[in-house]
Chain A
Amino acid sequence: MAKIVVDPITRIEGHLRIEAEVNNGRITDAWSSSTMFRGIEKILKGRDPRDAWFWTQRFCGVCTTVHSIASIRAVEDALKIKIPPNAQLIRNIIIGIQNVQDHVIHFYHLHALDWVDVTSALKADPAKTSALAASLSDWPNNSPAYFKSVQDKLKSFVASGRLGPFANAYWGHPAYKLPPEANLMATAHYLEALEWQKDVIRIHAILGSKNPHPQTFLVGGMSIPIDPDSQNALNADKLMEIKRLLKKAQDFVEKVYIPDLLAVASFYKEWAAIGGGVGNYLCYGEFPDAAGNQWLPQGAILGKDISKVLPLDQKKVAEYVDHSWFEYASGPEKGLHPWDGESEARYSGPKPPYEYLDTDKKYSWVKAPRYDEKAMEVGPLARVLVAYASGHKEAKAAVDLVLNKLGVGPEALFSTLGRTGARGIDCLLIARQTPTWLNELIANIAKGDYRIHANEKWDPSEWPAEASGYGWHEAPRGALGHWIKIKDQKILNYQAVVPSTWNASPRDARGQRGPYEAALVGTPLADPAQPLEILRTVHSFDPCLACAVHVVDATGNEVIKVKVS
């Protein structure tokens, strides 16, 4: 038995460490640890609830809108604020393009190098690459000359002997299976996607001043004014620019990302039987219309049983710290609901520098959230499964199309490959749907409705002395929830249970593994000194660790007991 450590796990957001036990070329056990802690919720205590979105936005600069959305929803829930239709639609557009851009960046810049050997691209025949690309899609950048120019750039880069971020990777690893032409095509699209992502996300800058960290959210609405007759507001010119960028986003997803995903996946079908994980899926649903009906449905799926989708109850969320560097005043082995949560940091790991963590005891800054006592996977796979199992028309069509193209059944979804494929399906669905919210916004403005904010409760003197609420959101990485308690116009308690807390979770009181840990068990390793396969499965979740460790309790030592209604 050998225990291997991968730290840092790169091409993710944040600081993640994996320790794994390897026997006969296979992982037999695994531990997921986050090694960075900031304590932002503790810092939130006593501050203005209207500011919370701006603070919690800094949980993460990658999924840079998601905590803002969950936060303003939580405060609006607590204060019973109904936002104007325009604000709802602008939020949907912001959420939509965030998901689309984030998924594409994940595929090309964070995940692709697990499947694509860049050095092999140097051996490709540009003419054959061109033929391959043209057989997959009518994307215009597909001539032999184009792929030759990309290859030439790559050659001169490699020849410089200074490989920069591409140095020292697992190039030539036996687990890389793509032919050189597919590698060259994917490398070309890696570079194109880098250009594309910065353009399409300008939608956030138009609607929200900048990205990352758009500065436009308000409790009660949005701060981008609407007035077709003003150059300082959302007008026809800006709306048309958004329309153009949404089209550009959709084109790239349909003509580059999805064809590439299918092409790459077809060479790695064995990964449809690896990396299944906990088999329980949680989705909060997203994209509400003016009446609050969600375009993507919410629900839970247990034990990979897609014949039924269970309705959700927020009271069933609880967090454990038996293997996390925190202590509860109420003692170990009990989970706490977010409204009752505590987060006293008590580091008990080894003193740095260290080689191994003591994984029998506490080993992570991530807590262990459980839904109805069960470890749950969240993310695009959960979202797509819940939509598919709920009979969502577009989701069903997209899933069936992908399964047919790959010649696999729905059971293939419960895997590393399924997770990566579901992200593409999710991206495609949202890329196609987002323009409809823009059209609705334009139609609403045409009717003369310029409202972007519900002012009635902006002034804290209008608030009740005490209030509590929660806000749910489907972030690119999955189910995100913020829970808030307000007292005397200040934050009394603030808790966030975020996607990567669910997925990167360590073991709970009962010893149940978290989703990364469970998914790694059984993964083959061709060469434990070059654990490429660990990266494949962990990256398929799209980890976001700064989000996961946020320490949520704003109450310090004080234990607040709240009756959960």
Chain B
Amino acid sequence: MSKQDDDVEKGLVERDYSNREYSVGEILRERGVSRRDFLKFCSAMTAAMALPVTFAPKVAQALDEVKRPPLVWLEFQDCAGDTEALLRSANPTVAEIVLDILSVDYHETIMAAAGHQAEAALEKTITDYKGKYLCVVEGAIPMKDGGVYGCVGGKSHLDRARQVCGGALATIAVGTCASYGGIPAAVPNPTGAVGVREAVPGATVINLPGCPVNADNLTATVVHYLVFGKIPALDGHGRPLFAYGKRIHDNCERRAHFDAGQYVEHWGDEGHRKGFCLYRMGCKGPATFHNCPTQRYNDKTSWPVGSGHGCAGCSEPAFWDTMGPLYKRLPNVPGFGIEHTADKIGIGLAAGAAAAFAVHGALNAIRKDKEPNDETREG
């Protein structure tokens, strides 16, 4: 702390907080977040985690008890889209809750410090809170040629990931790049880009793919950890079941049109205007696991299908190669939508994804022994 900060503390701050740490709930009230808004937030988080409504008081109680854990946010081969998603988060309001629930000690896009001072802030947190801080990773990690394709402060992304993710309580990979390599890992993967799980095999990693991540799912994951003291149950691709447990197709508001065989045939045609199924325009919803239809984006304003464009499949591993082209319909045209047909599509694509993974040398990501065992699930 600078001298000026000391002065501030000595001269201007009346209340002494130093004797004990305050809970998230207390801090929020201190910052002017009403109890009502706090409970509203708890309800939203309960819904995001796909928990029964009766859990909301438990979420509130737990948040009333937990302290503000430190979090560092690393950006590697990224576009900052996940950071921007965080800034758009509405449940809770972005600034208050993210600054108040957590102590975001390092985040290059928003932090005031730069250069050596920024580096020092990171070092301090990962040393002082070793094994206790949360790490969020945005962007892929280039493995090729000694990591020369990504450096910060003269240090390769790979070295930094090993150091920081390795010492974290848990790492949350936000977006498809950090989860599975994403766009830089698409064929021919010029820089040898991979996701965090593959770059740092020993770390506890939760994948929140999507392009970008839905910030509500990120907050819900953090809250899940704060409330239950363990990371949520994950699927075979390391994704929390509460957000990725169901196919888009299963929850789609246009599902009835699929079942009725009512499809959009041309952009702007009557079916398009009336909200018919986008399957024939290339929608990848039947093969994609994500809670977009229920969570939606930007304060629940909309989501791709809701605004007339098909799903791109962006939360699936290697979707850039296995789901494209964007406007090509999925194989095995089902005609009438019957459940087993959609299942077949899903299986077909999963096989395609596995093949692509093998091609990219990323087989580890789907190997059984890389899956979290019960111990890691317990956090």
Using a CB–CB distance below 8 Å, which chain A residues touch chain B?
5-15, 35-40, 42-43, 47-48, 50-51, 54-55, 58-62, 64, 105, 109-110, 113, 118-120, 122-123, 149, 153, 155-162, 164-172, 191, 194-195, 197-199, 201-202, 204-213, 215-216, 218, 220-221, 223-227, 230-233, 345, 347, 349, 351-355, 450-453, 455, 458, 529-531, 535, 546, 551
Pick the interface stretch among B54-62, B93-101, B237-245: B93-101
B334 within 8 A of A: no
Interface of chain A: mostly helix, strand, loop or mixed: loop
In the complex, the number of residue pairs spanning A and B with C-beta atoms less than 8 Å apart equals: 349
- In the complex, which of the residues B3, B12, B151 contacts A35, with contact meaning CB atoms closer than 8 Å? B151
- 28 example contacts (A-B, Cβ-Cβ < 8 A) are as follows A6-B114, A7-B153, A8-B152, A10-B118, A11-B108, A13-B109, A36-B151, A39-B184, A48-B324, A50-B326, A54-B326, A55-B320, A58-B183, A122-B8, A123-B8, A149-B32, A155-B13, A165-B99, A167-B111, A197-B88, A208-B309, A209-B305, A230-B275, A351-B146, A352-B148, A455-B268, A529-B116, A546-B78
A345 to B192, CA, bound (A): 13
Pick the interface stretch among B79-87, B228-236, B351-359, B361-369: B79-87
- Give every chain A residue within 8 A of B145 (Cβ-Cβ): 347
A378 to B43, CA, bound (A): 47
Q: A169-B112, A172-B4, A209-B307 are in contact. List 7 more A-B contacts (CB 8 A).
A: A15-B151, A36-B150, A37-B191, A156-B31, A172-B3, A221-B268, A354-B151
Could you say which of B82, B189, B301 has the most chain A C-beta atoms within 10 Å of its C-beta?
B301
A446 to B283, CA, bound (A): 31
A8 to B189, CA, bound (A): 25
Could you say which of A7, A165, A347, A349 has the most chain B C-beta atoms within 10 Å of its C-beta?
A165
- In the complex, which of the residues A37, A197, A212 contacts B149, with contact meaning CB atoms closer than 8 Å? A37
- Give every chain A residue within 8 A of B113 (Cβ-Cβ): 10, 167-170
- B32 close to A207 (CB less than 8 A): no
A15 and B267 contact, Cβ closer than 8 Å, known pairs A47-B325, A61-B80 = no
A164 and B152 contact, Cβ closer than 8 Å, known pairs A59-B79, A209-B302, A223-B309 = no
- A197 close to B307 (CB less than 8 A): no
A453 to B308, CA, bound (A): 12
A7 and B88 contact, Cβ closer than 8 Å, known pairs A209-B297, A352-B154, A353-B159 = no
- B30 close to A156 (CB less than 8 A): yes
Closest B residue to A162 using CB positions: B103
- In the complex, which of the residues B99, B140, B152, B190 contacts A157, with contact meaning CB atoms closer than 8 Å? B99
A216 to B304, CA, bound (A): 8
B30 to nearest A CB, angstroms?
5
- Give every chain B residue within 8 A of A354 (Cβ-Cβ): 151, 154
What 10 A-B pairs have minimum CB-CB distances, sorted nearest first?
A61-B81, A232-B275, A39-B190, A169-B112, A210-B297, A209-B307, A453-B267, A205-B301, A205-B298, A172-B4
- A11 close to B84 (CB less than 8 A): no
- B275 close to A9 (CB less than 8 A): no
In residues 138-165 of chain B, which contact A (Cβ within 8 Å)? 140, 142, 145-157, 159
Closest A residue to B16 using CB positions: A159
In residues 267-285 of chain B, which contact A (Cβ within 8 Å)? 267-268, 272-275
- B301 close to A216 (CB less than 8 A): no
- Give every chain A residue within 8 A of B374 (Cβ-Cβ): none
**B 188-199 binary contact with A (CB < 8 Å = 1; else 0):** 111101000000
- In the complex, which of the residues B79, B93, B154, B308 contacts A58, with contact meaning CB atoms closer than 8 Å? B79
- B99 close to A198 (CB less than 8 A): no
- B325 close to A218 (CB less than 8 A): no
Closest A residue to B189 using CB positions: A43
A156 to B22, CA, bound (A): 11
- A165 close to B112 (CB less than 8 A): yes
A231 and B5 contact, Cβ closer than 8 Å, known pairs A13-B109, A123-B12, A164-B104 = no
- A61 close to B82 (CB less than 8 A): yes
A363 to B93, CA, bound (A): 41
- B190 close to A42 (CB less than 8 A): yes
A232 and B274 contact, Cβ closer than 8 Å, known pairs A38-B191, A172-B4, A216-B307 = yes
- Give every chain A residue within 8 A of B95 (Cβ-Cβ): 191, 194-195
- Give every chain B residue within 8 A of A351 (Cβ-Cβ): 146, 148
A227 to B274, CA, bound (A): 8
A210 and B87 contact, Cβ closer than 8 Å, known pairs A9-B114, A58-B211, A168-B113 = no
B339 within 8 A of A: no
B9 within 8 A of A: yes
A451 to B273, CA, bound (A): 10
- A60 close to B80 (CB less than 8 A): yes
- A12 close to B109 (CB less than 8 A): yes
A51 and B275 contact, Cβ closer than 8 Å, known pairs A58-B79, A221-B268 = no
- Give every chain B residue within 8 A of A110 (Cβ-Cβ): 109
Closest A residue to B299 using CB positions: A202
- Give every chain B residue within 8 A of A221 (Cβ-Cβ): 267-268
- Give every chain B residue within 8 A of A5 (Cβ-Cβ): 115, 154
